Copies of this chain bind each other. A is one copy, B any other.
């Protein structure tokens, strides 16, 4: 970039002192109208752009909030990003988004980068960061975490965790209530806390209703569509009595759905299907998919507000994210049979 115009150049052009220009720029003090006009003209003429670095260095504030997301292209976390943007809007703070690609080392690197950029607060979406990293972070600045059960209260940090286990349990209970007795499960990767909790919830529900937990009814996926397809194929082998499948996320449920279609099995008449996460597309699958919805956007927005409130020393009303069973058309009743 060709050397950028500086504030002093503007000052010289307008025939005033640098501080005057600064004051006009920031509205820090009343300034003679005529001079103000001169300055605006000079700014226009020279194409002046204030240098954030210099300003931040001088003020000691960056006006930015770091956001760490595991994947910039994840339909799941992106709703939260939208929420964060909304929450920050008009606050004078802007988000700096970095993705950690589900890798601890990259995430730690990303956090370091954000710290270098002197973000004043941080929002962490899911991810693999060890708890002690999060604690260390919360001790330095306001931190909001989404999707992990961790107690940051000691430092005043906050975590919005969804109760995956309870929701999975509700979902499977719903299936049982509709008369299903042999229920398969396509699980997520076992190194993923959410996946483990959803599996636990599945097991809880079975146990609670006196149904046997059969490991053969559980196949492992990786949260991607293709693994749902394969998982369903495997479940179908040798489980002719299975009437419903709880898939650990919607993406895999889409794959499972396709596997059934390929085999000429109807949903929900021949097989009931439930997912998890309620992706935007899940209202438009065929049939619309029963799933559990986490208010990602609202959570993101609240977290942004939380960090802002901490920064301003204000109080903020607590937020209880409610997970919601989205009952749609992918589950049939087995009562009559």
Contact = CB atoms under 8 A, between A and B. Distances in A.
Given A75-B75, A254-B281, A141 B1 contact: yes
A334 interface: no
A225 B261 contact: no
Contact of A78 (B72, B96, B120, B229): B72
Nearest to A281: B281
Interface string A245-273: 00000000011011001000000000000
Contacts of A254: 281, 284-285
Given A257-B286, A258-B286, A225 B81 contact: no
A262 B281 CA distance: 16
B49 A288 contact: no
A285 B286 contact: yes
Contact of A113 (B73, B94, B99, B120): B94
Nearest to A83: B73
B85 A94 contact: no
A57 B51 contact: yes
A53 B49 contact: no
Nearest to A72: B81
Contact of A117 (B52, B78, B261): B52
A115 interface: yes
B98 A283 contact: no
Contacts of A2: 140
Contacts of A112: 49
A159 to B, nearest CB: 20
A82 interface: yes
Contacts of A237: none
A136 to B, nearest CB: 9
A57 B55 CA distance: 10
A79 B286 CA distance: 25
A118 B261 contact: no
A327 interface: no
A190 interface: no
A99 B85 contact: yes
A38 interface: no
Contact of A54 (B51, B57, B113, B115): B57
A216 interface: no
8 contacts: A1-B120, A53-B62, A53-B118, A72-B81, A94-B113, A225-B284, A258-B285, A286-B286
Given A85-B99, A225-B284, 18 more contacts: A1-B118, A1-B120, A1-B141, A2-B140, A50-B116, A52-B116, A53-B56, A53-B57, A53-B62, A71-B82, A72-B81, A73-B78, A75-B75, A96-B96, A229-B284, A257-B284, A258-B288, A286-B286
